[in-house]
Structure 1
Amino acid sequence: MSDVAQLAKLIKQASAITVLTGAGVSTASGIPDFRSSSGMWTEDRSREYYMSTRYFSRDPIDFWRRYKDIFHIKLMQNYKPNLVHTFIKDLEKDKRVYVVTQNVDGLHQAAGSSSVIEYHGSLHTATCPVCGTKMSSAQILEEETPRCHNESCQTIVRPDIVLFGDPISKHSEAEHVINSSDLVLTLGTSLQVSPFNMLPEYAAYERGLPTALLNGEPTMMDSLFSLQLRGDLSETVLSLKKELSE
């Protein structure tokens, strides 16, 4: 039995699935990845410095200039869910599906997934660090340096993504949905970022669940997974959809 057929069998048998996703899920939508061998963070390590809590505190005006430059394609929202997003959504037809994503692009929600944990936050909003007023992405784009729209405040707002140096607040929530699942799929991530990369290990070793990795490149954590399907993610998903329909 092929790896695709084995995975299709596991999916059919599962009543609840947790899907862990990374930047590779969104590349077919035109959004560049971050941590692959040719990803944008690999090309320019200085982005990690500028996209940090420390730099935001030091120079929030320049931070916002760089933030809008780095995430320009996402902030302009000129991208749509691709067949990988819709495949994950379609799994909900006959089972519970929990998505835990490193991505900040909102494409799982745009595809219609009903349970999405945004592990690293969202590009679509920003929050005033003083009064808590929320701003939408449209409002963020209105000003070069977005400030709180509360007239009595006017503080420079902070984007609702997890910056370098920020604590992760969603890890326990992610473990909770893994506890409620009987299969964990990991798609399109190099598993270089901690503590997100601890989630497959938790699923495999702490919970004893079957796990599968669908990714374009090898990772340092491949040995964790019951199944490894390597190659173009869109092509892998098409093969998997065909197998599931039989």
Structure 2
Amino acid sequence: MNIKIYQENRLTRQPFFKTLITYLSENNEVQLRTLHQEFSKESHLDRKIGTYIDAGLILRKNKRYSNAFHVFSDADFEPKQIEIHTNTPQHLSYDHPFFVAKGSQIERLLDASQIYQTLSNDVNAIKLHETTQFGFKTPENNNPVKATLANYFIKLEEGVPLSAFENEIYARIGDVDPNYALKYMTTFLLKFSNHSHIKARTDIFIETLEKYHYIEQISEKEYCCKLKFSTLCLETKHFDEAKDFIAAQIGQTQNLPDFIEI
């Protein structure tokens, strides 16, 4: 079985972990000596497997090993749960990795669903709201994924490979502290709440906002803002069970325009 991992952490991103769980999904309840034979070239094999067991990802029972997690497929959901529908946009959260069968309708709907991101800083109350695809960390088959500033900061924090566009951003601002960057970016954006055009000398943060099409240069030293100011506030809902989160997330299909909240 091909397995896709969502909301990965440090352990699930390890290449050997992905290789191991694929093997165990096809060869359940394997003895340790079989794993040593199969992965004879893998260094520190016992230590790595022990770490996965401690994290609750691999199960050791009666000296045999298997995957300790459920792989969600279309069979886990009622037909009405995986119909294409639109729920009221919300911030949905689930705190752990979860596993989905590749090629399933659930995978397709998850990747196409939307997440609503909010960037804030500790200097002012301005918030930048963005929308992107749920599968932005693991795009498949070169499917285009909308770039957002939140995606960039998340990928840097979690060590997720950057896209070609994000590498262009990295060449400008590097691994900058998000709070530091947002302090300057939001202060600049706030000026557009009272003026349709702003004159300013360009810098790396203004260039970054322009790259993301949040502002547009209309003359040599003049900019306009392409985002609207709004008071829209999305509710937040937390889930304790992966299945409930998946069912709710695939209903997040509304692509909200990015906006600035004061």
What TM-score does the superposition give when structure 2 sets the normalisation length? 0.31
Name the structure where strand makes up a greater proportion of residues.
Answer: 2
Query: Which entry has the higher C-alpha Rg, 1 or 2?
Result: 2
Q: Name whichever structure is richer in helix by fraction.
A: 1
The TM-score normalised by the length of structure 1 is: 0.32
